[in-house]
Structure 1
């Protein structure tokens, strides 16, 4: 059931559902999440079951913006390095997840059993309204410190960026808070703060240069971290294959795309319509009847905003292949490039 975030009692209904151990569809500025009380092992288990996600694959816990998010962080994290506090001050509320040492006995199921936990303070006003309602319970109600909320889709599939996407993935019985289309469209940047230096685990809208400027520290790559330690924490959305539509995704540069298109037959053998979708920035000559084409924005931010929606749209056409022009070099495109590489893995 989809409820508008500005409708009377919508926020209270979602907060009540979380307190009761149920799941909700939660809008954020990145993608929609499948939310549950992060401190309830039973509620968190429902997330893993609904998504078909391995129980040792950690979830990101979303905290309220009260005190800049620090009170929620103090509840879940054992310690917070100085550079992590600088990142919170610079980017929270916003699309940045920090991996921090977890307090013993708190959020173990959401953390996938690890001694670290991923925390984020989302910028979406509807998400913050639910989180604030949970932190300010009425008399007799339980205070909830955070919402565990991975993307509201089946494990490994394309993330949802509208309430309708969530409903198509998770069914009509789920309570979904409709906060409109996600403004950013790809998941948060993830920084590991457990190794004495900031380490990039997943790129997003906040670039590595943004992170380095905010904390005054060089950002290590995941590969540099793994070379230094075999105890690197697992993080959400970092599997080699992820964000995948039903159609097979292939990345090619513009020249290879045009060559591949030129080699196609003029029409589909069974005349059922397009079987290949092309998503590219370059102007391509497409005359074959088996190809449908979408234009990718030339700038990274609008490309990120529409990426998952376009993949879902092309999937809905029933194409078998999606050929995508490889994103250009540059830090701004790292998040889009990461999602497409995983979709094509």
Structure 2
């Protein structure tokens, strides 16, 4: 057991100047706290919580088996669910993880040029005598890697000079954390430090693509949309295929998010699709399931659902996720956690169209929901 300490850091005090791989840090407290976390990564096998632009990560050295084991242990995460490696620069990626003289496949060049640093994860082959722990890759021949844009994440990885394996910093199956307080709620006593850099901007995990396949694949939608990949990747990504299939229990997967239940609150999540203003569909569900007036129901609405007041106050709590995809992405996990921690029994969520950011939003909601009601069927 640890006495988990939250270390405050100022995201605005950390800068990476163009062409430089080491940060400039102007705030003494921020520098001191990042150094504490970096030392923990270098000198121990204890994972730590830290902010990224997507969600908070639970990071440990990607090169040490014991560090990776402790990530899985803290999260109670299945060991066959691979992890994403985070690097602070392309130079670090080449120096620390790739074989000498290995060239990153040309299919990735435009994506890297246009979308790194950022919420994009690519698959690369595990080279012969790779230093990456096989526990990161779940013994597969590829590894997933990204260069985060969050200054605190990059500074932590740069100052420790340690490629960091990092899933989201939540208890396994729980909604991903977008605040340091979410990490503390799930992992208090299981990790020594959490770097608190405020709220995450994107709110959903990174997009994972596989350019080693033909045609190239989107294995997990996330911070960049399918349209973003096509637009920024060049002609070779024009025929990218989105892999919607969820892997079977005994099937190996190359990236997180393709297996197991994810993003789930304790309360039952009911997802509504194509249900207009929601009044009829929610009312019908309440009636057909004999929900008592004492049942606590939360509503997370976005583009079309009307206020819960129209349901004669059967909804206890209501939260507006926003109308734009970026707003819904940013607010989704935090809202799921907030209403769940308020002790509701059921969470109604309005679904969105699977275009632009909606593809990633619906990917997460489909995994969180126990029941999906489609008004078009």
Q: Which category of TM-score, normalised to the shorter sequence, fits these structures?
A: 0.7 to 0.9
Q: Distance in 2 between matches of 1:24 and 1:77?
A: 33
Q: Secondary structure at the match of 1:110?
A: helix
Correspondence for 1:314: 339
State the shift of 1:164 in Å.
0.7
State the shift of 1:256 in Å.
7.7
CA RMSD of aligned residues (A): 2.6
Distance 1:179 1:115, change over 3 A: same
Q: Secondary structure at the match of 1:324?
A: strand
- Residue 58 of structure 2, aligned match among 34, 58, 61: 34
State the shift of 1:262 in Å.
3.3
Q: Secondary structure at the match of 2:270?
A: strand
Question: 1:97-145 CA deviation, whole Å, 9 max, x = no partner?
Answer: 011111233211211111110001001100111111022xxxxxxxx3x
**Residue ranges of structure 2 left out of the alignment (5+ in a row):** 11-28, 371-377
Please show how residues 169-318 of structure 1 align to structure 2 within 5 Å: 169-172=186-189, 174-215=192-233, 216-217=235-236, 218-222=239-243, 233-239=253-259, 241-252=261-272, 253-255=274-276, 257-263=278-284, 264=286, 271=294, 275-281=296-302, 282-284=305-307, 285-318=310-343
Conserved 8 A contact 1:167-1:174: no
Q: Secondary structure at the match of 1:74?
A: coil
Correspondence for 2:38: 15
Matched length: 328
Of the structure 1 ranges 103-112 and 333-342, higher mean CA displacement relative to structure 2 is found in 103-112
Conserved 8 A contact 2:277-2:306: no
- Residue 137 of structure 2, aligned match among 111, 114, 123: 111
State the shift of 1:298 in Å.
0.8
State the shift of 1:74 in Å.
2.8
Conserved 8 A contact 2:171-2:186: yes
State the shift of 1:21 in Å.
1.7
**Residue ranges of structure 1 left out of the alignment (5+ in a row):** 136-143
Q: Distance in 2 between matches of 1:246 and 1:81?
A: 43
Distance 1:23 1:101, change over 3 A: same
Distance 1:71 1:212, change over 3 A: farther
